Amino acid sequence: MHRRSRLAVAVLSVLVLTGGCTLPSFAPEGSDQPARQGGAAAPAPSGSGSALRWKPCPEVPRELVGRAAKGMTYECATVPVPKDWAAPVAGETYGIDMIRIRSDQQRDRIGSLLLNPGGPGGSGIDVAVYLSYGQALGGLPTAVTDRFDIVGFDPRGVGESDPVKCIDAKDQDASFAADPDPVSQAAFDEVAALNKKIADGCATEYGPSLRTYSTEQAARDLDALRAAVGDEKLTYLGFSYGTLLGATYAQLFPKNVRALVLDGAVDPTEDYVSGSEQQAKGFERAFTNFTTWCAKNAGKCAIAPDARGAVTDALAKAEASPVRGSDGRDATPGWIFLSVISSLYTESGWTSLADAIDGLSAGDAEGVFELADQYAEREPDGTYSNLFDANLAVNCADTDKAPTAADVRRLQGEWRTKYPLFGPALAIGMLPCTYWGGQRDPYPVGRAEGAPPIVVVGTTGDPATPYENTADLANMLGVGHVLTWEGEGHTAYPSTACIRNAVDAYLIDLKVPQEGLRCPPK
């Protein structure tokens, strides 16, 4: 396997605005139909995944990190699944690539813990590898790795699993560089035309197959993976968009659920527009939290005391005279905006953002491009992973009603008033699905009748999946239990001892967290 050199955790985006994976929360429009209790569950082979052809793959952690985690073994396998679960055709399959990570200290094995990092478009293989390095490095605690095989998978169309790739690198660069708030009609039309070109290119490349990258199809794949690893019931940890995938699974296969942890909730009941507005609100709130921190920590924030003013000024100056980076790219408002988005995913990114904006004033754009490229999964040679290609394919397949270009233009103005920095860009970010040529396949929305308790984790300062979504998802499922982290950044587990202990007890012993439990920031 050829692996990427950098990780996009809880990847999120929306093309052009930032494209999307990570705007996993561009909550696509939900269906008003009752949940579809989907076909028969895939038969489980006997044993702990013994029917799969697992092969040692120590090269995966070596390529990602430089070494394997001490005491861990890495094996890889591929599971074939129908391209279209609704109408399977013999011989027409996607290959879902997985990695299984086992600790040499494993005892009293419970089963497999399947992981999805979000996006849509994030690699579960990459995230599983990163999480295998242990709690001291931000990974999974030994309490979990001692009891479970850690199984990461790349969903259909993502990473190593028959990846969707239909966006030219030059168009990708142009989309990120574009003004996040094109005010004149001519500027808006130019951005819209670029989005249409990208959407048309994907339609030409994949045609009717675009519909098969939907979340419901991926949820059915997930049940095939559960069966393939030999688990009677699914134990699953999903971040960001991974919460939508897990919630869809719970509706389709409620009796196959053992334990689901959904961290950084997407609200499936929101339509595409309201989901985008919620994200604009979330990012605006997170940025305000950053500026407040800046004002109180001038020694750590290079653009204190007025961080908002510094960012706004940097964007305005870049329109007229962008700073040129060492690779020849100009740090346009689009790239600067992308660096802001990138930095808000973790509180540790705040200092990097301040330094990057401060660097621009001195003619140095390297900090901006470093943040932006990490988020975009852009390599030094100008190539991209397929993060955003897959993100568009999934989000647009899931969305049965996208706004028109006229709707987007109207919302751009309205949201500029409500959410000055992020509103216009989140409106523009809906344009790809406006022009998407593929058929749509919206996911089910409703209760997970017959499922056991499901833990839904929310972070009060989450920019990408705003905290308000947490209770909404728990209530929709009917069996959801809210666990709150009063912290900053996107997703919570395994950030603090309080969150970690509550989630671990649920995963291992099925102990549901105390109702109303709120964990402190540190």
Which residues does the annotation mark as catalytic? 240, 462, 490
Kindly give the interhelix angle for 272-296 and 333-343, rounded to the nearest 10 degrees. 80
CB–CB of 71/133 below 8 Å?
A: no
Dist CA 269 CA 469 (whole Å): 10
Using DSSP, how many helices (H) and how many strands (E) does the chain show? 18, 14
Burial class (CB in 10 A: 0-12, 13-18, 19+), 276: buried
Dist CA 437 CA 207 (whole Å): 8
CB–CB of 427/50 below 8 Å?
A: no
Total Cβ atoms within 10 A of residue 421: 20
Q: How many residues does the chain have?
A: 522
DSSP secondary structure string for all residues of 341-357:
HHHTTSTTHHHHHHHHH
Helix (H, G, I), strand (E, B) or coil at 376: helix
Q: Which of 433, 392, 395, 145 is nearest to 266 (CA)?
A: 395
Spatial strand order of the sheet with 480-488 comes to 55-56, 72-82, 93-103, 148-153, 111-116, 234-239, 257-263, 454-461, 480-488, 518-519
φ, ψ of residue 125 in degrees (nearest 5): -65, -50
Backbone CA torsion sign across 139, 240, 265, 82: negative
